[in-house]
Amino acid sequence: MTTLRDLPAVEQLLQTQTAAELIARYGRPLTLIAIRSTLDEARERIKLNPEPALPPIDLILAQTDSTLSAWTQPMLVPLINATGVILHTNLGRAPLSAAAIHAMDVVSRGYSNLEYDLEKGVRGSRLIHAESILQKLTGAESALVVNNCASAVLLVLSTLANKKRVIISRSQLVEIGGGFRIPDVMKQSGAKLVEVGTTNRVHLSDYEEALQEPTALVMRAHPSNFKIIGFTEEPELKDIVEVAHQADVFVVDDLGSGALLDTAKYGLAHEPTIQESLSAGVDLVCFSGDKLLGGPQAGIIVGKKALIDKIKKHPLARAVRADKVCLAGITATLLHYLKDNAEREVPIWRMMSLTLKQVKGRAEAWKNELGQGHVVEGESTVGGGSLPGETFQTYLLSLEIKSPDKFLKKLRKQHPPIIARTENDKVLLDPRTVLPEQEGALLVGLKNALRL
Ligand SMILES: *Cc1c(COP(=O)(O)O)cnc(C)c1O
């Protein structure tokens, strides 16, 4: 009978050639933890069921090896998005352009002029890199890039509205996902929310009435993930701006998705653009870097210089500042718009601008390669807090599978994992969101899951 005392000692295991190799690969501290954990497991097993023979040293080391390999697998991995949701928040929102990836790569490899004025040889500002491009693109007097749009809103309100009134329409008290609510972010800044109107109808007179009392800001939040239909009314932004400015109150527009191009060009509804908000006279506009801009995670504030100068000096500005890698990626992404090649270079716009013929061609090529399935008409969505309820036509590869949910699970186990959807017991794959360079891996994964 095997007793616990017969198990090899840690020291004994460490003297083997295999242990030396594991230490070389994984480092001594982690290897030690893994050896102890494997021995603990063996001990538990023996307690439950004294084995006739000891687990040989080789077996213990082999187990240690697989434990170490499992512990050191990368946790955050790329995957293939075949859902047709272009800006999928759970799948990391916008894929980046080649130029953005390159800019982030070179800046992270070494030192940079992040806060260094190359002309004068003195300390510079990390803010100027994106600012000058944003000024040219939007015509705004000034701009600031921070960690994300939620922090942009928090920073704006903390600077301009702490302990002061902020007027917002009841129809805009949105929850943006992950349980985060715009009103909660606003309250965190110390602002006093003054809600006007009802859920479905807000009149200009509601704003005018609320503006009778001393107020810091009027805020508009883009209802990014829902749509009120039916008996509704909402004043035009320029009219809200007019009554606010008459009362000497600034207007902040939290656009969220922040389009620089017109989505209507692709058969979608029109998503409000940054330029439109500014030309309506809004004083500050906030938007995300990784939604319709198609860049890395960031929050961008554009608008009046006097206000942004104040915001830059608030202590929170330091707490939510963008890092050099983000600034490199955002700047490179913005340059695409400046050079008018965003539709070609920024992946999300490339996906939106794919013609039906192109999408259908890809779905058909997949079908031919697999030798099964049907190409059917379907719908893609933009997602990511933009164009709620809007879909655009696409073609899908539809696979008839006995147990679709089990098949989706198999797809998720591929390397890279593949995320698809089911509808009416069919598994659907949308070519629109599959990056062209991932097509080979997609087909390998599909064949594996189908056991072709
Ligand atoms: C998405 C969104 C936000 C939050 O943006 P993050 O960049 O994710 O912080 C804020 N406001 C609106 C209206 C949004 O749509």
CATH number assigned to the domain comprising residue 142: 3.40.640.10
Residue 70 CA, chain-centre distance (Å), reads 27
Domain end marker among 345, 366, 393: 345
- Asked if 187 and 208 sit in the same domain, the reply is yes
Predicted confidence (pLDDT) at residue 230 exceeds the cutoff of 80: no
Ligand 1 atom having least distance to the Cα of 288: 7
Looking at per-residue pLDDT, the higher value among 229 and 434 belongs to 434
Specify the pLDDT at position 205.
Answer: 95
CA atoms within a 13 Å half-sphere pointing along the CA-CB vector of 114? 17
Predicted confidence (pLDDT) at residue 178 exceeds the cutoff of 80: no
Which protein residues are within 6 Å of ligand 1, measured from CB? 148-150, 176, 221-222, 224, 254, 256-257, 288, 299, 385
Specify the pLDDT at position 29.
Answer: 97
d(CA 309, CA 354): 41
**Closest to 204 in 3D by CA, of 250, 177, 176, 169:** 169
- Asked if 160 and 283 sit in the same domain, the reply is yes
Kindly provide the b/e burial profile for residues 429-446, where b requires at least 16 CB atoms within 10 angstroms of the residue's own CB: bbbbbbeeebbebbeebb
Specify the pLDDT at position 355.
Answer: 94
Q: How many domains does the chain have?
A: 3
Query: Rounded to 5 degrees, what angle do the CA atoms 238, 244, 248 make?
Result: 135
H or E element in which residue 362 lies: helix 356-370
| pLDDT above 90: percentage of residues in the chain | 79
Ligand 1 atom having least distance to the Cα of 180: 4
Predicted confidence (pLDDT) at residue 216 exceeds the cutoff of 90: yes
H or E element in which residue 399 lies: strand 391-400
- Asked if 366 and 429 sit in the same domain, the reply is yes
Other CB atoms within a 10 A radius of the CB of residue 315 amount to 9
- Asked if 34 and 150 sit in the same domain, the reply is no
Ligand 1 atom having least distance to the Cα of 299: 7
Task: Give the N- to C-terminal CA distance of the chain in Å, as an integer.
Answer: 48
Smallest CA separation from ligand 1 atom 11, residue:
256
Specify the pLDDT at position 384.
Answer: 74
- pLDDT, mean over the chain: 93
Predicted confidence (pLDDT) at residue 2 exceeds the cutoff of 70: no
- Domain of residue 413, CATH code: 3.90.1150.110
- Asked if 270 and 218 sit in the same domain, the reply is yes
Ligand 1 atom having least distance to the Cα of 221: 13
For residues 62-80, average pLDDT: 96
Domain end marker among 345, 372, 404: 345
- Asked if 326 and 289 sit in the same domain, the reply is yes
Predicted confidence (pLDDT) at residue 71 exceeds the cutoff of 70: yes
Token pair for residue 122?
């003195």
Model confidence band, residue 397 (pLDDT cutoffs 50, 70, 90): very high
Predicted confidence (pLDDT) at residue 239 exceeds the cutoff of 90: yes
- Asked if 397 and 259 sit in the same domain, the reply is no
Tens digits of per-residue pLDDT, 179-190? 778 888 888 999
- Asked if 419 and 434 sit in the same domain, the reply is yes
- Asked if 20 and 61 sit in the same domain, the reply is yes
Smallest CA separation from ligand 1 atom 14, residue:
256
Smallest CA separation from ligand 1 atom 5, residue:
149
- Asked if 44 and 123 sit in the same domain, the reply is no
Q: Ligand 1 centroid to 232 CA: how many Å?
A: 24
Predicted confidence (pLDDT) at residue 3 exceeds the cutoff of 70: no
Model confidence band, residue 51 (pLDDT cutoffs 50, 70, 90): low
Tens digits of per-residue pLDDT, 75-106? 999 999 999 999 998 999 999 999 999 999 99
Specify the pLDDT at position 7.
Answer: 82
Residue with tokens 């629109």: 432
Residue 215 burial (10 A CB sphere; 0-12, 13-18, 19+): buried
Domain span at 110? 95-345
Specify the pLDDT at position 392.
Answer: 85
Q: Ligand 1 centroid to 111 CA: how many Å?
A: 31
Specify the pLDDT at position 6.
Answer: 74
- Asked if 276 and 370 sit in the same domain, the reply is no
Query: Which amino acid, residue 355?
Result: T
Q: Which of 46-60, 64-78, 292-306 has the lowest mean pLDDT?
A: 46-60
- Asked if 245 and 155 sit in the same domain, the reply is yes
Q: Ligand 1 centroid to 106 CA: how many Å?
A: 28
Q: Ligand 1 centroid to 254 CA: how many Å?
A: 8
Domain end marker among 312, 345, 378: 345
Tens digits of per-residue pLDDT, 128-170? 889 999 999 999 999 999 999 999 999 999 999 999 999 999 9
